[in-house]
Structure 1
Amino acid sequence: MTLAHHNPQPAGSGWLRAPLGVLFLVGGLALAGFGAWLLVLGGSAYYTVAGVLMLVDGILLLQRRPSALWLFAILLGGTLAWAIWEAGMDWWPLAARLDVLFVLALLLLTPWVRRGLVVSTATGADASTATPTWRAATRSGTLALGIAAIACVGVAGLSVARDQHRVAGQFDFESSAASPLPESAAGDAVPAGEWHAYGRTAFGQRYSPLAQITPANVGQLQKAWEFHTGDVRGRPGDPEETTYEVTPLKVGNRLYLCTPHQSVIALDATTGAQVWRRELGLPQGLALQHLTCRGLSYAPAAAAANAAPTSSTGGVDASKACGARLFMATPDGRLLAMSAQDGHACPGFGKDGAIDLKANMPNSNPGSYYSTSPVVVTQHALIVGGTVLDNVSTKEESGVVRAFDIDSGKLLWNWDSGNPDVTTPIEPGKTYTANSPNSWSAASVDESLGLVYLPMGNQPPDQWGANRSAAVERYSSSVVALDLATGQVRWVFQGAHHDLWDYDVPAQPSLVDIRRNGQTIPALVQPTKQGELFVLDRRTGEPVLPVTETPAPGGAAPGDHTAPTQPVSALSFAPEPLSGKRMWGATLADQLACRIAFHKLKYDGRFTPPSEQGTIVYPGNFGVFNWGAVAVDPVHQVVFATPAYLAFVSRLVPRPNDHALVVNDEPPKGSLPAINENFGAPYGAKMKPFLSPLGIPCQQPPWGYVAGADLRTGKIVWQHRNGTVRDLSPVPLPFHMGVPGIGGPIVTAGGVAFYSGNLDNYARAYAMANGRQLWESRLPAGGQATPMTYSGEDGRQYLLVVAGGHGSTGTKPGDSVIAYALPKTGG
């Protein structure tokens, strides 16, 4: 006679017990097996113990023992204690450790499991013929498991209510101790309601003296108008990194902007109506790694007045006929000058309004040298840097930086970091140094000091540096100050020594005067990918805030070497080192997978060199700061920053020869380059984010913040998580976890900062005093461009946000230019 026949149970009673028991068996085996692997690698023993307990629990469930409830209560309670020991009261790390077990506990507490349990297989007691012994055993197990589950809920409630990553603080802008400087500290004569350069001024501060929008009224911002450029990524031949990163200019009542596919557009700044448009066209067959336009450069008509009023033939100078001018660098290696009035080419500039930036270039290849950032405009000259193909080969074009006469386009000087001492214009027929470090980001200039400040990249390939020359070693990943008149180096400060991590200096330096120790110091603030904010005397390059050379890991690939030390600033947003405890995942399973991956990879902290084993690079080459830089309030000498934190994995792949593909599975389409192959070097490099099997970061959140720091003291005054995973998860969940972004912020005299670069498609406003979020607006696409602000003819202050998306981050593509303003008042 079978047990079921002897004591028949009610229909459906305890039906979930057996499937759950099988799940525990399978899950326990997997957890114990992979946990043992982690233990052998030197990781936590928790997963092995938890797997064994779950395995035994599965057996007890299949044997219908109430003790299964007790054992799972021990597992859940022990996991809670372990989770608090590892993660403290930090909600998201706790959730990853507890979520699956907590759900399983709830299932165990349901009647569909408990009614299927018996005291022993001999008695056959079940819910239909329950004995006091059965009831007591089930009740005590249920109580124990319920207490463990309630404890989890309590800890969750406490951890959600507090944010241990928050730095709470407040700038005291009203106190005399704040030592504000006059508005003239902004360093320019740009009208308050205008935006004449990429960073508003040549100082690159991203600061506006407008104060109509304040913390008290910013919540009333509403869309005033929206313009669609018609330029959306996804055309044939587009590289992956086709991005819309433009910050428009505002001059008079016009806005000027460019698009990735080479449209130049002028809009009415008050209404958003198109005034004129010039289609430059994008040549076919370009070997492009990036396709973007971060902005145009502007020169007022007065600059042309410095030229002779007549040409050599006695006629009117053609460049003067253009009046105010716009300058734009193109993907096919040209620099164009056009009239700000209607967009027509300025014929007196170069040849028919264009300069060939490919002139005197070695290894010339269509699309392998171009500029993505606006050029520097001074009273007499244009300073032009550019980007070369990164990590494609060791035979790329030159990273030379050149100065051209602003009116005629004549070459004035050239500074080649591979041949830095000779800056006189290159002779016809000669070429610049191949593969020399370049300056691809935006530069800044202080004409009163006669200096232009260049953020420098690295010599490709980034991950191999055995053959770099002394000049390359000196200028790679540095900020360099050049004499405006001659191009000669006045000083250099290096942000990363012997860079093997793509830690080029990616951001425009911000120039600001700092009052410190009773003196006003002309300073330069340089953000880096490593998270350092170096604050330097811009006259000499000497640190204003202390810089310490700290020991760095060794162990470079055979034939290469590492620098023994690396510089760290007193003002640093560098992340804490990773550890097994800081691995994360949506569940216990993928967190375990991340821990195994962490222990399999090479990681000795920041600056661990690349390896064939695979190295965790943290911060990754996405950077704590990238081309978006920071925003500086020059009056109060404080900075608004948007640090991001993502780990990457760099794996060196030996090359058998100079032409085989070792990183890419197949040749790229058309003329697009084979990225990371490093033809000519001993290794290719496989680069990818450090992600769990579910495609989320292996390091625990937060991954992105907004922060405020005092440039006089180096103190981070406040720092808060920023952004949600709404547009990063398969299900649009608005969890406020703190997500990374790319693009820059701005600050205003009204005490409000703005940022739209987070990867969750929102524009947001913050109180500069304490970082509190004051306003947000949903964007139709990714907002990975630096916003700007200006005054319209109607007297209103506008916030302008470009939402076009970013190919590398996968944010939604679009073509929107959106203006926000406070509601109109009066008649």
Structure 2
Amino acid sequence: GATATTPAAASDAAAASGTEAATPASDPASATEAAAPASAPAAAATPVAANGTCMRRILLPVNDGHLYALDALTGERCAGFGNNGDLDLQHAMPVTTPGMYEPTSPPVVTNKVIVVAGAVEDNFSTREPSGVIRGFDVRTGQLLWAFDPGAADPNKIPGPGEHYTWNSPNSWAPAAYDAKLDIVYLPMGVKTPDIWGGDRTPDLERYATGLLALHASTGKLAWFYQTVHHDLWDMDQPSQPTLADITDKDGKTVPVVYVPAKTGNLFVLDRRTGELVVPAPEMPVPQGAAPGDHVSATQPFSALTFRPSKNLTDADMWGATMYDQLICRVMFHQLRYEGTFTPPSLQGSLVFPGNLGMFEWGGLAIDTDRQVAVANPIALPFVSRLIPRGPGNPLEPQPGAKGSGTEAGIQPQYGVPYGVTLNPFMSPIGLPCKQPAWGYISVVDLKTNQIVWKKRIGTTRDSSPIPVAFRTGMPMLGGPMVTAGGVIFIGATADNYLRAFDVNNGNRLWQARLPAGGQATPMTYAVNGRQFVVIAAGGHGSFGTKLGDYVIAYALPKQ
């Protein structure tokens, strides 16, 4: 499935610098390759025409299912790419309704191949586009390979009159690329509808909800690691995986990939082989699926994690007033809840970590000099309730039917026996029922895999019915960035601020009020020795923050 994405963020220096691996673009002023914002363009610097046009290009996927190649200097289409600079990503899709297939993240660009994936509508129906991942020639746009995660032969390219697999697991979040290994790392989702899996075949489960590693030049499988088995909670991999080289206990350098999961687990894998570097043993989880479905007996639990250390109790229920807290406790006892991975139910299940996840598409920021990772986990429970499909309730979408486009409210799940309602677990006045904090900024030591510090981030100023700025720690969409000087920058919170923190201890160094929600990942660059930080303040419709169309730059003090 897909999660809602941020508006396009400020385009970075890759377009001007000729960066070939453009997801994400790093900067000499930064100690990290911060996660690229969703919907951002990628850049390439491969000659296309002898007359000098399109020597540097912007490769721009848009949400009607097309990818455009533009001259970075003029904005003109690259005539030698696709159909006059236009690549139709809807080709051979089983359904081509506009808006049902959306490439929400930048493609990975190598010196040979453009690797493109995309999002589909969550929980809408069993007749949706494929989650196929494709590789196109970086110069001409010619299709070089395909990897359809739901097909018996994932590399089979459909012939005339054929199409890719309906509803195969998709990859909507940003991917990462290791040029030395020529491997692209793709965070995978689950076959939609997400909250019921009684109709899933082994082929449709094989590459669902995990990290998929493909050889970028050929599209052949390198390895796959599944982070949730038979996913019934929309616990798809929401974040760009982060590549880093770490020193193990024997002093050896190990190339790893960090995989932040909605479950709060941080999976650490050898990026050459997919083998676990940090243990993630299989542990029993609650059983008892809805009629016609089943639940995996175990799930992997990483030793490096932000997941809750204990199950919620009624003592964890919270409210702005005593009445509010009482209602939250009553609702808590009415729901099914047996801890992490409580199955969806007709009774209504408390899902914690919630469907929004502890980690979202912002990902991690790695400080390679200090060997630490910066994370911003969320702690917001959700409630899911299955709705039996009764007489007169169609299994197939009716003409003009559309999904909600959000992760809240009634989801029709056409084609399966149940619809579902998904909502944050909120009090009657619209505040989370779980006691604060609901969002943190934190640092992890990559040498010991221990959390060094964790602090609340964000206030209720822009989301409370009463405009009072309680520092409760707020839910977030967007990621952190850390500079070589040891300063973390992050927007993301449900209040409209960009903040800076000391990476060593979490002390807040600075903050600035934004004119709209900062649901984006900041970036940094330097010009003539002066360093800048830029963020797109566009807000987020489904997140409820103030909308805008701002791109704002701040200058760091001169040294």
TM-score > 0.5 by shorter chain: yes
Contact 1:644 1:741 in 2 (8 A): yes
User: 1:598 pairs with 332, 344, 364, which one?
Assistant: 332
Deviations 1:722-751 (A, max 9, x none): 111111112221211111111011111111
SS at match of 2:455: strand
Query: Aligned-residue CA RMSD in angstroms?
Result: 2.3
Alignment partner, residue 253 of structure 2:
520
Partners of 1:242 and 1:716 lie apart in 2 by: 28
* Partner AA of 1:539 in structure 2: R
For the residue of structure 2 that corresponds to 1:550, the secondary structure is: strand
Structure 2 residue 99 is matched with structure 1 residue 364: no
Structure 2 counterpart of 1:539: 272
1:673 corresponds, among 397, 403, 409, to 403
SS in 2 for 1:639: strand
Q: Any conservation in 1 of the 2:146–2:155 contact (CA below 8 Å)?
A: yes
Larger radius of gyration: 1
Partner of 1:506: 238
Give the alignment partner of residue 359 of structure 2, picking from 614, 625, 629.
625
1:341 aligns with 2:341: no
In 2, Cα distance between the equivalents of 1:362 and 1:556?
30
Q: Report how far residue 458 of structure 1 moved.
A: 0.7
Task: Give the SS at the match of 1:547.
Answer: coil
> Unpaired segments of 5 or more residues in structure 2?
20-36, 406-410
**Partners of 1:346 and 1:353 within 8 A in 2:** yes
Check whether the contact 2:474–2:493 (CA below 8 A) recurs between aligned residues. Answer: yes
TM-score (ref. length: structure 2): 0.91
TM-score, length basis structure 1: 0.62
3-state DSSP class of the match of 1:249? coil
> Given the superposition, is the C-alpha separation of residues 571 and 626 from structure 1 closer, same or farther in structure 2, using an over 3 Å criterion?
same
**Partner residue, 1:694:** 429
Q: Which amino acid aligns with 1:415?
A: F
Partners of 1:554 and 1:419 lie apart in 2 by 29
User: What amino acid is the match of 1:760?
Assistant: D
In the TM superposition, what are the counterparts of 1:224-623 in structure 2 within 5 Å? Answer: 243-244=6-7, 246-251=9-14, 294-300=39-45, 303-304=46-47, 321-419=53-151, 421-517=153-249, 518-575=251-308, 576-623=310-357
Distance 1:764 1:661, change over 3 A: farther
Q: Does 1:706 pair with 2:441?
A: yes
Which is strand-richer, 1 or 2?
A: 2
Structure 2 counterpart of 1:223: none
Q: Of 363, 366, 382, which aligns to 1:648?
A: 382
Equivalent residues of 1:614, 1:649 under 8 A apart: yes
How far is 1:636 from its partner? 2.7
Counterpart position of 1:217: none
Taking the aligned partners of 2:467 and 2:18, their CA distance within structure 1 comes to: 35
Determine the C-alpha separation between the residues in 1 that align with 2:469 and 2:157.
Answer: 56
1: CA distance, partners of 2:7 / 2:394: 33
Which string of whole-angstrom CA distances, capped at 9 and with x for unpartnered residues, describes residues 553-582 of structure 1?
001001111111111111101124211110
Supply the distance in 2 between the matched residues of 1:253 and 1:394 (Cα, whole angstroms).
43
Asked if the contact 2:262/2:359 (under 8 Å) is kept, the reply is yes
Q: Distance in 2 between matches of 1:817 and 1:254?
A: 21
* Distance in structure 1 (CA, Å) of the matches to 2:366 and 2:154: 35
Q: Distance in 2 between matches of 1:255 and 1:723?
A: 37
Distance 1:442 1:253 in 2: 21
How far apart are 1:254 and its partner, in Å? 9.1
| Alignment partner, residue 21 of structure 1 | none
Matched residues in 1 for 2:361 and 2:10: separation?
12
Aligned-partner Cα distance in 1 for 2:370–2:269: 17
Larger relative helix fraction: 1
Give the letter for the 2:347 counterpart.
Answer: Q
Equivalent AA in structure 2 for residue 296 of structure 1: P
Displacement after TM superposition at 1:638 (Å): 1.1
- Asked if structure 1 preserves the Cα contact closer than 8 Å seen for 2:123 and 2:403, the reply is no
- Whether the aligned pair in 2 keeps the contact of 1:513 and 1:637 (CA below 8 Å) is no
**Cα distance in 2, alignment partners of residues 647 and 658 from structure 1:** 33
Which AA in structure 1 matches 2:493? Answer: N
Q: Distance in 2 between matches of 1:717 and 1:738?
A: 18
C-alpha contact 1:325 1:337 (8 A) present in aligned 2:
yes
The answer to whether the 8 Å contact 2:314/2:332 transfers is yes
Q: Distance in 1 between matches of 2:353 and 2:9?
A: 26
Q: Distance in 2 between matches of 1:605 and 1:246?
A: 37
How far the C-alpha of 1:243 sits from its partner, in A, is: 4.3
Change (3 A) 1:755 1:586: same
Deviation of the 1:488 alpha carbon: 1.5
Is the 8 Å Cα contact of residues 438 and 457 (structure 1) preserved in structure 2?
yes
Structure 1 residues 653 and 422 mapped into 2: Cα distance closer, same or farther (>3 Å)? closer
Q: CA deviation at 1:317?
A: 5.0
CA deviations 1:221-274 (Å, max 9, x no partner) are xxxxxxxxxxxxxxxxxxx96842525312487999xxxxxxxxxxxxxxxxxx
Q: Distance in 1 between matches of 2:292 and 2:426?
A: 30
> Which whole-Å deviations, capped at 9, do the CAs of 1:355-400 have from their partners, x for residues lacking one?
1101011022122112011010001000000111111101111000
Q: CA deviation at 1:633?
A: 1.4
Alpha-carbon distance between aligned partners in 1 of 2:213 and 2:198, rounded to the nearest angstrom: 26
Q: Tell me, what secondary structure is at the counterpart of 1:321?
A: coil
- Paired residues, number: 533
Q: Which residue of 2 aligns with 1:186?
A: none
Give the fraction of aligned pairs with identical amino acids, expressed as a percent: 50
1:453 to 1:810, Cα distance in 2 relative to 1, 3 A: same
1:469 deviates by 1.4
The whole-number CA distance in structure 2 between the counterparts of 1:534 and 1:245 is: 28
> 1:796 aligned to 530, 544, 553, which one?
530
Partner of 2:30: none
Question: In structure 1, what is the equivalent of residue 476 of structure 2?
Answer: 741
CA distance in 2, matches of 1:299, 1:445: 14
Per-residue Cα deviation, 1:454-473 (whole angstroms, up to 9, x for no partner): 10011011111111111222
Report if the CA contact (8 A) 2:395-2:415 is conserved. Answer: no
Offset of 1:702 from its aligned partner? 0.6
CA drift of 1:350 comes to 0.5
Paired position in structure 1 for 2:33: none
Q: Distance in 2 between matches of 1:507 and 1:644?
A: 13
Aligned to 2:27: none
Q: What SS does structure 2 have at the residue aligned with 1:725?
A: coil
Give secondary structure in 1 for the equivalent of 2:198.
coil
CA distance in 2: counterparts of 1:763 and 1:541, whole angstroms:
36
Offset at residue 479 of structure 1 (A) = 0.2
**Offset at 1:603?**
0.3
Q: Does the CA contact (< 8 Å) of 1:800 and 1:817 recur in 2?
A: yes
Is contact 1:411–1:425 with CA below 8 Å preserved after alignment? Answer: no
